[in-house]
Structure 1
Amino acid sequence: MKDTIPLGRFAGVRIGLHWSVAGIVALVAVGLGVYWLPVAFPGHAPVAYALGGAVSAVLLVCSVLAHELAHSVVARRNGVVVEGITLWLLGGVARLRGEARTAGADFRIAVVGPASSAVLALVFGVGGWMAVRLGADELIVAVLGYLAVLNAVVAVFNLVPAAPLDGGRVLRSALWALTGDRFRAAVWSAWAGRGFGFLLIVAGLAEVLGRSTGGLWLVLVGLFIVNMASAEERQARIGVALAGISVGDVMSSPVETVEARQSVEQFFRDAVVSHRHSAFPVLDEHGQLRGLVTLQHLREVPVEVRGGTALGQVACPVEKIAVAEPGEPLALVLPRMTQTSRGRILVCSAGELRGIISPSDVARVLSDHSLTATLPAGADLTWEPETRPPPSDWWFPGQQRPR
């Protein structure tokens, strides 16, 4: 999910809002400021109710952000690259590039989110208690109490042992530690996730049949969980099938490279007779990697400016290129293919370029194992591998549910 409104960086993590978050903010603000607070605490000015609802909505979004930041900070400390955090309609998504390398790291990354929500629930609860002791206005106490309860529900709901919830990742890490097989542990966690998702759907439909519109939230989230858990199961099964296959077994080598100073026009003149591939690492005059170009993106350069446009100017920058080492398990590297706009992985060892993995290389291996996968558009092929969904969290204002 892409950001609509960038908010900058915090603790080195890029943070953004998706446009849909405005809907949930409005729902919470109106639900509290127009309906719940006036009914529960009558006698205040309309502006006080509106302010209470708005403050609650903003602090709720901040609570979700704190939850995601906790995931992100711990992930970075455990060697997992964090691309950013996006807040959206159902909560937040921390976009992680890669996987934890140990069961312990996987556990720490997963459990810190619910732990942070529990701490926030305690903070808001203590704040509400202190507000009562100090004789603060009852609307202030109500807002603090609402946020305390909601963060507590977020913490508890996220610990449900079902993928892709945090609790599902805790379950996966525990099974991984017990069995030593991360992929089978992921399959079992995904099964639990699908079962839980179907339970939410059934519960939601029962509420809808009972003429409660709140059930629609349960149906929506249940469908989301089922879809995400199914995606995780497919990815995990690919990991089981590809056990023992390393990056070095699949990569294409040697790698055909191009010079950063070469013009796009010159490239196309040479490509007819000398280039046999569709993606090319770009090297500078010192032989250092400067990016990656593909035929698809070079064709998008207007013909009239190709003569004055160097390959280095249009190359995907190094920081956006997925990189792996020859000895890494292929199954752990596959998710990285969707983290780069070119859909390739460069294989490096001791700082030197050793090979490249393209979607066609992976497709060949999956075909050999009678497997299929789908990867995002942008890989220059109609085929694309599918990745495990990143940790994400949802809240449900109508039901006071998170994640």
Structure 2
Amino acid sequence: MPSTGTARPWYDRPLRLGAVAGVPVAVSTSWILVTVGMVAIFAPQIRRTLPELGWIAAGAVALVYTLILAVSVLLHEVAHALAARSVGWRDSSIEITLWGGHTSFEAHEESPGRSLFVSIVGPLVNLVLGGLGLVLQQPWAPQGVSELLLYMAVWSNFAVGVFNLLPGLPLDGGRVVEAIAWKITGSQAKGTIAAGWAGRVVVIGVVSAVVFALVRGGFTPGPLTFAALALVLVPLWTGAGRSLQHGRLRLNLEGMQASTLLRPVQLLPAGASVAGAEAAGVLYGTVVLATAPGGGLLRVLPEAVLAVPESLRGGTPATQAGVPADDGAVVSPDADGDRLARAALESISGTVLVVDESGRCVGAVRREDVVAAIQARPRKEPQQ
């Protein structure tokens, strides 16, 4: 699965292994915990299949199987990374985790076709590996350790490939749905929303099928079956929910334009006070700028004005309530939401000046207004 991080707990920290084709590879400590669990689950099954093996040998075979599965997941993620590199997306890295693995990269000039290509190659690698193994596999039941490992590798690759093609984010199949809907609608946000709903439909469908089978009878799943279903369905449901939220926020971003969020701009004369900034409308939406003593512009912040007692505002320089505003955050009136949001985030003061073709400043956009628009919240002014 293509996919970034803050401080992580001890049971989910990356351990650097090296690099494959120049792509850094790490394994999460959570994978080590899962390996122990998988060995405990598969060793008894292996011993039942090959009763001549002792417990230690069965555990060793189970461990080898988990390593084969990890290599399959690694090849899946390497395919994503190399595909991303081929379309110009840089800074790829791979991590094998509790849920299998993910590839991180910085996407540039995204398009439905590129997203589809990068997403689909991972599952295809697993399906191809499974198909090659199927050619080598004998049609009869495994009779030895090597045949058993081949059998398990074949079907685990098929399982990884098919599972990742389920049409719901954050799985690869969800990104395929996203790319197709993006191509049809022309909106990546609508594609993300469609993929999020697809993921929820998959979960509801699987749960409904299990409930129907239980009610009808003839299906008596054990604890391991329910645990496996939960391990698959819970992350898929929560991932679909995050995708829906992200898609809705991005849809608001796509519909945003600098001209719709304009605030009036007032430049104070040199030596103006905080009271002058208040009179200019800083508390009611006007972006008030003051000239710094050493040159340059400062944006007078409403919250900084309110922090000054009313009795002192007339004698307090407006520059003491300001932050640097001439940091290059300038856009045109027709700047789209993506450009506007990036400029607002990069601005020291949280202010984006809007300049028309003639070079005239026609207004400004505040970072807080951009955030409110993305979250579909009404714009608010500070209250005295």
**TM-score of the aligned structures, taking structure 2 as reference length:** 0.63
Residue 244 (structure 2) aligns with:
233
- 1:22 and 1:142 map into 2 onto residues whose CA distance is 23
Equivalent of 2:39 in 20, 29, 39: 29
Q: Give yes or no for contact 1:247–1:329 (8 Å, CA) kept in 2.
A: yes
Q: 5 Å matches for 1:293-312?
A: none
Question: What do residues 10-34 of structure 1 show as CA deviations (whole Å, max 9, x unaligned)?
Answer: 22222212211012212222322x2
Amino acid at match of 1:232: S
Residue 165 (structure 2) aligns with:
159
- 2:66 and 2:164 map into 1 onto residues whose CA distance is 20
Equivalent of 1:175 in 169, 178, 181: 181
- 2:249 and 2:103 map into 1 onto residues whose CA distance is 23
Equivalent of 1:190 in 196, 210, 213: 196
Residue 212 (structure 1) aligns with:
222
Amino acid at match of 2:323: R
Question: What do residues 280-339 of structure 1 show as CA deviations (whole Å, max 9, x unaligned)?
Answer: 99xxxxxxxxxxxxxxxxxxxxxxxxxxxxxxxxxxxxxxxxxxx9998544897x99xx
Q: Give yes or no for contact 1:72–1:82 (8 Å, CA) kept in 2.
A: no
**TM-score of the aligned structures, taking structure 1 as reference length:** 0.61
Structure 1 spans left out of the alignment, 5+ residues: 257-271, 282-324, 338-342, 348-354, 373-403
Question: What do residues 59-101 of structure 1 show as CA deviations (whole Å, max 9, x unaligned)?
Answer: 1111111111111111122222344222111211212334661
Change (3 A) 1:362 1:239: farther
- 2:160 and 2:59 map into 1 onto residues whose CA distance is 24
Amino acid at match of 1:226: W
Amino acid at match of 2:64: V
Residue 364 (structure 1) aligns with:
369
- 2:153 and 2:206 map into 1 onto residues whose CA distance is 24
Aligned residues: 293
- 1:234 and 1:248 map into 2 onto residues whose CA distance is 25
Q: Give yes or no for contact 2:252–2:373 (8 Å, CA) kept in 1.
A: no
Change (3 A) 1:81 1:40: same
- 1:36 and 1:204 map into 2 onto residues whose CA distance is 24
Structure 2 spans left out of the alignment, 5+ residues: 262-286, 290-295, 299-318, 354-364, 378-384
Residue 323 (structure 2) aligns with:
276
Q: Give yes or no for contact 1:28–1:56 (8 Å, CA) kept in 2.
A: no
Residue 139 (structure 1) aligns with:
145
- 2:159 and 2:340 map into 1 onto residues whose CA distance is 35
- 1:363 and 1:239 map into 2 onto residues whose CA distance is 16
- 1:92 and 1:247 map into 2 onto residues whose CA distance is 39
Q: 5 Å matches for 1:4-403?
A: 4-32=14-42, 34-98=43-107, 101-129=110-138, 138-201=144-207, 210=220, 212-213=222-223, 214-243=225-254, 245=256, 276=323, 330-331=337-338, 345=346, 362-368=367-373, 371=376
RMSD, aligned CA: 4.2
Higher normalized contact order (CA 8 Å, seq sep 6+, divided by chain length): 1
- 1:90 and 1:328 map into 2 onto residues whose CA distance is 40
Q: Give yes or no for contact 1:118–1:152 (8 Å, CA) kept in 2.
A: yes
Amino acid at match of 1:371: A
Residue 387 (structure 1) aligns with:
none
- 2:110 and 2:149 map into 1 onto residues whose CA distance is 41
Q: Give yes or no for contact 1:200–1:219 (8 Å, CA) kept in 2.
A: no
Change (3 A) 1:185 1:255: farther
Question: What do residues 211-242 of structure 1 show as CA deviations (whole Å, max 9, x unaligned)?
Answer: 62121231243221122112111221222222
Percent of aligned pairs with the same residue? Answer: 22
Change (3 A) 1:137 1:216: closer
Q: Give yes or no for contact 1:198–1:223 (8 Å, CA) kept in 2.
A: no
Change (3 A) 1:204 1:332: farther
